[in-house]
Structure 1
Amino acid sequence: MKYDYLIVGAGLFGAVFAHEAKKKGKKCLIIDKRPHLGGNVYCEEVEGINVHKYGAHIFHTNDKTIWDYVNGFVEFNRYTNSPVANYKNELYNLPFNMNTFYQLWKVKTPEEAKAVIAEQVREVGVKNPKNLEEQALSLVGKDIYKKLIKGYTEKQWGRKATELPAFIIKRLPLRFTFDNNYFNDKYQGIPIGGYNKLVNGLLDGIETRLEVDFFKDKTELMSLANQVVFTGKIDEFYDYRYGKLEYRSLDFKHETLDMENYQGNAVVNYTASEIPYTRILEHKHFEFGTQKKTVITKEYPTEWSGNKEPYYPINDTRNNEIFTKYKALSEQDNIIFGGRLAEYKYYDMHQVIASALAKCKKIFN
């Protein structure tokens, strides 16, 4: 055998696994069907700006070990995610905090804000929420729901809020402080120079082959290595024998504009249902850029089909039951499955890295 590991997919899981395996003296080959490394964290440089090609990737974690790990490959900046919501040309700070409550009701103290929310929740009078709409109304009342949740959520899922299960919104964090920092995590930022620096650092000295479709030469490729690490769709690996798992997808429309600053913030959410996109990203603000031009991206949520990129697993009862069957099958095979698609779960970046490191610790220690 030429390689110890054939790693299918050059995203974060595959790159971390390859790096750790190399440290243990293992020989790895990474293949990816895309023309670039990095999976969904790949950045394309346009006008000197690192454009997040597959949506905003903002690194955040409370785990110092993970934070130190990624900073070992590239220094991260101090970017703090503070999105703004645009509802019919009114602007609101996110997450829901004292700034938001002032913008909605002109209240200035936590006590006043709590009183308004409690009164609106009481007026709704929902005791046993049967769907997402009722759940949200029972948590935050009509104003926040109507202006900041309803349209955005319906676009995201492609379903009416009354048709979505209540459990999607288990809780809605309300902050009674003037704090626009979206994440509660201690560590957050963006790699200085973009995510490609992180991925290239992880894959330094490891053989990679791009634009290789694993499923076109599956038998031949698998014969190259003692073991396969697979980070693609687990149902596709098993030829959909128990049926197809479902996802939501996204379409991205990137535009280069001949201006220095389009919206003054990296992320602006559009929460009205009549606007077809959910948000506009302005990439230069992730790295405090001062370039003469700017690049924006509109994100359009869409139904997933086989030729689209699968982004968000739909972890409802039906899909979870199908995945359980594939997982049982995978446990009988000498194949390592890892990452968002192979594990059929929504992962943040730090969680993917933690999952790959845990897998490596189990195998190599």
Structure 2
Amino acid sequence: MYDYLIVGSGLYGAMFAYEAKKRGKKCLVIDKRNHIGGNIYCENIEGINVHKYGAHIFHTSDKKIWDYINTFAEFNNYINSPVAIYKDELYNLPFNMNTFSKLWGIKTPAEAKKIIADQIADLNITEPKNLEEQALSLVGKDVYQKLIKGYTEKQWERDCKDLPAFIIKRLPLRFTFDNNYFNDRYQGIPIGGYTKIIEKMLDGIDVLTDTDYFEWIKDSNNAASIKKTLFTGPIDQFYNYCYGVLEYRSVRFETEVLDTDNYQGNAVVNYTDREVPYTRIIEHKHFEFGKQPKTVISREYSSEWKLGDEPYYTINDDKNNSLFAKYRELADKEENVIFGGRLGNYKYYDMDKVIAAVFEAIAKEFGE
């Protein structure tokens, strides 16, 4: 008999299992994929830890969370400093004085602020009607045309004029020469990859991969062997889509081994020109300062999602949020099922927020 069946071996499920075991509970973790780790799974190719489901960079300002995750791995001092390529021009991200200097040949914050303010004033957009107007009203035409427009249109496969303004609430502009993408106090990549963290969390816990929950639970012996379930899969699927299907954006990866030691000189390079079909290229070795003779790159293509595809990004518009609220109402009535994670809570989480959410769930579950 298991105290908890945990559906999904990503960070949320694995951490919940670890914490429940610490409290004397017996857990069974199942995952429909052929590996543990969910979307933070790293596959070793040519001695390089390849982020199979997209780049994951751990960052947080919460010391408790940083100290916690460091009990499972040693982190390096990687700083996320992406580069953007627009046609034959190269820019630093996030938008900062290095970006503005390259755009306009200027040197001081005052010059940059004036150019941006003048561009915004010339446009005279008082009430943005779409994403294009919203972005233009925040950063002016040059930053928008070269670094936002094409990238965003590839992400959503729609013209920016046809996208709602609320998608971009703000566009941070930095008037310092600082290419560090995140503002958080702590940042890095686990040495040896993320899979090792999940392996440590699940040490001594029963795990079944290649196991689909909806098939597994049909067996009455299986169903009788569990007291409670933590479900980190799609909440709408759990309820057989009774109110309808929640929508996502998906991502397709083309991963390739190249016979060179250094392809692009940076882990993350965004392609902001719409004519280039992929949104970015990840060169995985740079996350861990690799010196391997070969390199592995992944081209990322944003794609429409349909049922059966891998769900990546929740689409938290009014329609989907109100649909999720209906499922949440059903979930709140469950006595022996807990919903967690990105798919269970229909919410995009950074990794530190996943850990915070598990701390909260554990405190609630065990009355701490």
TM-score (norm 1): 0.99
Identity in percent: 66
2:288 alignment partner AA: E
Matched position secondary structure for 1:151: helix
Deviation at 1:222, TM superposition (A): 3.4
Q: Does 1:331 align with 2:329?
A: no
Q: Does 1:188 align with 2:187?
A: yes
Deviation at 1:217, TM superposition (A): 2.8
State whether residues 80 and 181 of structure 1, in contact with CA within 8 Å, keep that contact through their aligned partners in structure 2: yes
2:129 alignment partner AA: K
Matched position secondary structure for 2:230: strand
Residue in structure 2 matched with residue 296 of structure 1 by the alignment: 297
1:196 alignment partner AA: T
Cα distance in structure 1, aligned partners of 2:248 and 2:365: 30
2:14 alignment partner AA: A
Q: Map 1:107-256; keep pairs closer than 5 Å.
A: 107-220=106-219, 221-256=222-257
Residue in structure 1 matched with residue 354 of structure 2 by the alignment: 352
Deviation at 1:361, TM superposition (A): 1.2
**RMSD of the TM alignment (CA)?**
0.7
Does 209-218 or 36-45 show the bigger shift?
Answer: 209-218
Residue in structure 1 matched with residue 13 of structure 2 by the alignment: 14
State whether residues 59 and 349 of structure 1, in contact with CA within 8 Å, keep that contact through their aligned partners in structure 2: yes
Deviation at 1:224, TM superposition (A): 2.0
Match of 2:363 among 348, 361, 364: 361
5+ residue gaps, structure 1, are none
Matched position secondary structure for 1:320: helix
Does 81-90 or 353-362 show the bigger shift?
Answer: 353-362
Deviation at 1:302, TM superposition (A): 0.3
State whether residues 252 and 298 of structure 1, in contact with CA within 8 Å, keep that contact through their aligned partners in structure 2: yes
1:194 alignment partner AA: G
Deviation at 1:94, TM superposition (A): 0.1
State whether residues 52 and 283 of structure 1, in contact with CA within 8 Å, keep that contact through their aligned partners in structure 2: yes
Match of 2:342 among 340, 343, 349: 340
Cα distance in structure 2, aligned partners of 1:174 and 1:340: 29
TM-score (norm 2): 0.98
1:164-223, CA deviations, whole angstroms, 9 ceiling, x for partnerless residues?
111111111000000000000000000000001111111111110000011113243433
Cα distance in structure 2, aligned partners of 1:263 and 1:222: 51
Cα distance in structure 1, aligned partners of 2:6 and 2:126: 50
Cα distance in structure 2, aligned partners of 1:4 and 1:41: 26
2:357 alignment partner AA: S
Residue in structure 2 matched with residue 59 of structure 1 by the alignment: 58
State whether residues 222 and 228 of structure 1, in contact with CA within 8 Å, keep that contact through their aligned partners in structure 2: no
Deviation at 1:66, TM superposition (A): 0.6
1:211 alignment partner AA: D
Q: Does 1:276 align with 2:277?
A: yes
Cα distance in structure 2, aligned partners of 1:164 and 1:347: 23
1:310-343, CA deviations, whole angstroms, 9 ceiling, x for partnerless residues?
0000111111111000000001012100000010
Does 287-296 or 150-159 show the bigger shift?
Answer: 150-159
Cα distance in structure 1, aligned partners of 2:343 and 2:223: 19
Matched position secondary structure for 2:342: coil
1:53-80, CA deviations, whole angstroms, 9 ceiling, x for partnerless residues?
0000000000111100010010011000
State whether residues 6 and 222 of structure 1, in contact with CA within 8 Å, keep that contact through their aligned partners in structure 2: no
**Aligned length, in residue pairs:** 364
5+ residue gaps, structure 2, are none
Residue in structure 1 matched with residue 320 of structure 2 by the alignment: 319
Deviation at 1:246, TM superposition (A): 0.2
1:269-301, CA deviations, whole angstroms, 9 ceiling, x for partnerless residues?
000001111000000000000000000000000
Residue in structure 1 matched with residue 90 of structure 2 by the alignment: 91
Does 154-163 or 252-261 show the bigger shift?
Answer: 154-163
1:247 alignment partner AA: Y
